[in-house]
Amino acid sequence: MNAETNGPQPIADPAEDDTVARLLRAAGNRPPVPSEDAAIVKAAARAEWQQTVRMERQKRRFTRLAGGLLAAAAAAILVLNTGVGDSLWRSVAPPVAQIATVTGKAVTSQVMIVEQNLHSPGDKLWAKDIVATASDNDTLPVRMVLQMASGASVRLDAGTRLLMQSSSALKLESGTVYVDSQGAKIELQTDWGMVTNVGTRYEVSVAPDKSWLRVRVREGAVQLADSQAKLQTISAGEELMTTADEPIVNKLSPCGPEWQWTQDTRLRAPFNVEEPLLHDALSWAAAEGGWELKFASRALAANIASTTVFGDIKDGSLEEALQVWTRSSNLSYRIEECVLHIE
Amino acid sequence: MRSNVFPAFQSDDRSLAKRILAGDEKAFEEFFEGQFPGLYRFALARLRDPDLTRDVVQTSICKAITHIKTYRGEASLTAWLFTICRYEISGHYRKNRRAPSPVELAEDQPEVRAALETAPMSFKGPEESLRRKELAKLVHATLDHLPVKYGQALEWKYVDGLSVKEIAQRLDVRPKAAESLLTRARKAFRDGYSSFGNDGGGLSLSPT
């Protein structure tokens, strides 16, 4: 294992090298650090880093402008307003997201372009695009699902205005979004601070008049970094409400009615795997419903891991899907206190 | 004392700091993944409270990032970060108006070091086992204080048994460069190990 194939080593004193080697071997590997702590610190460090980079870029931009480039900037604005710059940008930059689903009419616009475009599934979104869903409407609330290039899925409730910044950064100007991170890092900037996830599902709302921010965490944890870089961690089953007064943290059920809008059959994460395994199907339903999945026995769990399920559940509710899947496998289910029991 | 042991890495560290400030994702990953474990172990050994350690390390790293523009490469990035962390730990004790608990660190105790220096490399019996643990702490603390790639390369070679060629592949450099790095790493390790807990006195790493 330790064979050297690249010639003699340039060692000044082989005896000293031998001692270093024996010391290191006797000590063994350094102990690992807790991965959960690493993830939390990394999320905070990343938020800090991105804020630092943004400020640095702003400073550089300001310096350049102050250097006498006002004429060039004016020309660039002219180009953008004619749409030429926008087309050029879109032809070279990769899109940051794609619209997966729209219920009703949603519009997008570019930051510097007044014209708004109606959007439909399959349309791509670039940095600086603004996505807006109309206010709630009794017959057909306008909602939208974005598939981010980073892998995360973002659901927009009615009355939401969201600025695309990159495949992993968004600015929520107002309204409500539900993020299913799928392991990707998503930074959600608001006027109240930056919300960063640690592998999770969560919802963030900003009041239309920006008088409050609400963060609800269904799974995992998120961190809110305010303008003074003060960090607050919100964990699964908690709701943070921030107003002009002190922020308040309340307990929250991961399967309560607060999450109902995200379970609209048109919005939820797709489950269209060919020949899916029952375990995957149940895990998907549990994640969407905010339930903890529990099996009656280990043997049952092991059996389910190799069972294939059938049945199209595309337009059915989660409970209808559970009925189809469990019945076809001679099983039953019940939901009690946010736990999905499979028996 | 160790100011000029790794000039090549100070140049790399300056470059890394610039890339971090420019918004380079890979640079951020390299910085965090490389520095966090050592810094965490350093703080945990002094604070002995995992939650507090996490907070102190988080604050230290965030402060380092905020002030990364001021990093001039006069010391390694690791040394710079450890200095920030030391201030944070002292600040914590100052804020809470109490003196730090007497934390007995192997690297801070000359008598432990003296015993370890003369210890045989085979450890048998409970006393020897304890001695081995102390030795391990000292060696690990030394590795954590080295530039990240030095510590990694030494661990890969002498603990994990990787060849120079394999280390070169992991570091994405040519084998000759990896050999050269290992030579510098060994020297840095010897100097670092000698400087821990000694008042500037040298330590002879004589083979046993």
- The reply to whether A105 and A252 lie within a common domain is yes
- Report the residue from B38, B69, B165 with minimal CB separation from A5: B165
Is the pLDDT score of A311 beyond 50?
Answer: yes
- Hey, are the CB atoms on B183 and A18 less than 8 Å from each other? no
Tell me the pLDDT band of B4, cut-offs 50, 70 and 90.
very low
Q: What is the DSSP string of A86-124?
A: HHHHHHHSPPSEEEEEEES-EEEEETT---EEEE-TT-E
Which domain-ending residue is among A25, A58, A92? Answer: A92
Closest in A3, A12, A52 to B68, CB measured: A52
Domain that holds residue A281: 271-342
**Phi and psi, residue A158, nearest 5°:** -60, 150
Together in a domain, A190 and A334: no
Q: Is residue A19 part of a domain?
A: no
| Mean pLDDT of the residues in chain B | 77
C-alpha–C-alpha distance, residues A232 and A222, integer Å: 8
The pLDDT of residue B145 is 86
Regarding whether A110 and A81 lie in a shared domain, the answer is no
Mean pLDDT value across residues A246-254: 84
C-alpha Rg value of chain B to the nearest Å = 18
Residue B3 binned pLDDT confidence (cut-offs 50, 70, 90): very low
Are A244 and A128 in a shared domain? yes
A169 & A149 share domain: yes
Nearest to B61 by CA among A187, A42, A35, A230: A42
B40 to chain A, any CB pair closer than 8 A? The answer is yes
Worst-scoring range by mean pLDDT, A243-252, A317-326, B33-42, B125-134? B125-134
The complex's ipTM works out to 0.77
Q: CB-CB: which of B62, B144, B159 is closest to A24? A: B159
DSSP assignment string, B137-202: HHHHHHHHHS-HHHHHHHIIIIIS---HHHHHHHHTS-HHHHHHHHHHHHHHHHHHHHHTTSSS--
pLDDT higher than 60, residue B45: yes
pLDDT mean over A237-246: 83
Alpha carbons B83 and B62: distance in angstroms, whole number: 14
Name which of A169, A231, A240, A252 is nearest A206 in CA terms.
A240
- How many contacts (CB atoms, under 8 Å) link A and B? 152
Q: Which residue has the higher pLDDT, A61 or B19?
A: B19
pLDDT number for residue B116: 45
Torsion sign over Cα A73, A74, A79, A82: positive
**A29·B23 Cβ contact <8 A:** no
Asked, for residue A138, whether it belongs to a domain, the answer is: yes
Report pLDDT for A272: 58
pLDDT tier for residue B1 given thresholds of 50, 70 and 90: very low
Least Cα distance to B164 among A8, A18, A14 occurs for A8
Q: Is residue A33, in this structure, part of any structural domain at all?
A: no
State yes or no: pLDDT of A219 exceeds 50. Answer: yes
pLDDT above 50 for A287:
yes
Q: Are residue A218 and residue A126 in the same domain, yes or no? A: yes
**A235 lies in some domain:** yes
Is residue A108 a part of any domain in this protein? yes
Give the SS3 label for residue A193: strand
Strands A187-190 and A169-180, sheet pairing: parallel
Q: Round the average pLDDT of chain A to a whole number and report it.
A: 76
Residues A198 and A208 in one domain: yes
Are A80 and A122 part of one and the same domain? no
Q: Is residue A190 part of a domain?
A: yes
Chain B window 132-151: which residues touch A at a Cβ cutoff of 8 Å?
132, 135-136, 138-140, 143-144, 151
What's residue A78's pLDDT?
Answer: 43
pLDDT at position A2: 41
Task: Give the domain CATH number at A193.
Answer: 2.60.120.1440
The answer to whether residues A109 and A203 belong to one domain is yes
Residue A326 has pLDDT above 60, yes or no: yes
Write down the pLDDT at residue B106: 52
CA distance linking residue B135 with residue B69, whole number of Å: 37
**Of A101-105, B21-25, B71-75, B130-134, minimum mean pLDDT range:** A101-105
Higher pLDDT, B131 or B42: B42
Interchain pair A30, B155: CB under 8 A: yes
What tokens were used for B74? Answer: 């006069």
Residue A237's pLDDT is what?
86
CATH number at residue A277: 3.55.50.30
Per-residue pLDDT tens for A81-136?
A: 445 556 655 666 778 888 877 776 655 555 433 345 566 778 888 888 888 877 65
Please tell me the predicted confidence (pLDDT) of residue A225: 82
pLDDT reported for residue B43: 92
Structural domains in chain A (count): 3
Smallest CA–CA distance, residue A73 to chain B, in Å, is: 22
Lowest mean pLDDT among A209-213, A316-320, B79-83: A316-320
Q: Is A224 in contact with A51 (CB distance < 8 Å)?
A: no
- pLDDT band at B156; cut points 50, 70, 90: very high
Q: Is the sign of the CA dihedral B197, B202, B205, B206 positive or negative? A: negative
Query: Region A280-295: what's the mean pLDDT?
Result: 85
A76 found inside a domain: yes
Residue B202 pLDDT exceeds 50: no
Please answer whether residues A166 and A148 qualify as being in contact, where contact means their C-beta atoms are separated by less than 8 angstroms.
Answer: no
pLDDT score of B112 more than 80? no
Residue A179 CB: number of other CB atoms within 10 A?
Answer: 24
List Cα–Cα distances, A147 to A67, A99, A155, A267, B119, in angstroms.
40, 6, 9, 11, 60
For residues A121 and A236, state if they share a domain: yes
Q: CA A170 to CA A154: how far, in whole Å?
A: 10
For residue A165, CA distances in Å to A30, A34, A52, B51 come to 39, 32, 16, 33
Predicted local confidence at residue B60, as pLDDT: 93
Whether B105 contacts chain A with CB within 8 A: no
Chosen from B186, B187, B193, B204 to mutate, greatest number of chain A CBs within 10 A: B186
Which of helix, strand or coil describes residue A200? coil
Give yes or no: residues A220 and A139 share one domain. Answer: yes
Neighbours of B155 (CB within 10 A): 20
Rounded to the nearest 5 percent, the helix, strand and coil shares of chain B are: 70, 0, 30
Name the residue facing B136 among A9, A27, A42 (closest C-beta): A27
When pLDDT is cut at 50, 70 and 90, the band that residue A77 belongs to is very low
Q: What is the pLDDT of residue A107?
A: 59
* Angle (nearest 5°) at CA A303 between A297 and A309: 120
In this structure, the answer to whether residues A59 and A105 fall within a common structural domain is: no
**Percentage, residues of chain A above pLDDT 70:** 73
Residues of chain A with pLDDT > 90: what percent? 8
The answer on pLDDT for B142 being more than 70 is yes
CA atoms A220, A226, A229, A232: torsion sign: negative
pTM of the model: 0.44
Q: What would the mean pLDDT of A299-319 be, rounded to a whole number?
A: 74
Beta carbons within 8 Å of B15's beta carbon, 6+ residues apart? none
Q: Is the pLDDT of residue B57 over 90?
A: yes
pLDDT tens per residue across span B9-34: 556 888 899 999 999 999 999 999 99
The per-residue pLDDT for A138 is 46
Which of A77, A92, A107 is the C-terminal boundary of a domain? A92
Single-letter amino acid code for the residue at A230? K
The position carrying tokens 């219920």 is: A103
Query: Does residue A87 form part of some domain?
Result: yes
Q: Which of A223, A256, A289 lies at the terminal end of a domain, its last residue?
A: A256
What are the φ and ψ backbone dihedral angles of A140, each rounded to 5 degrees?
A: -145, 90
User: What value does the mean pLDDT take over residues A134-162?
Assistant: 78
Looking at A24-28, A63-67, B3-7, B79-83, which range is the least confident one?
B3-7
Q: A296 versus A78: which is more confidently predicted? A: A296
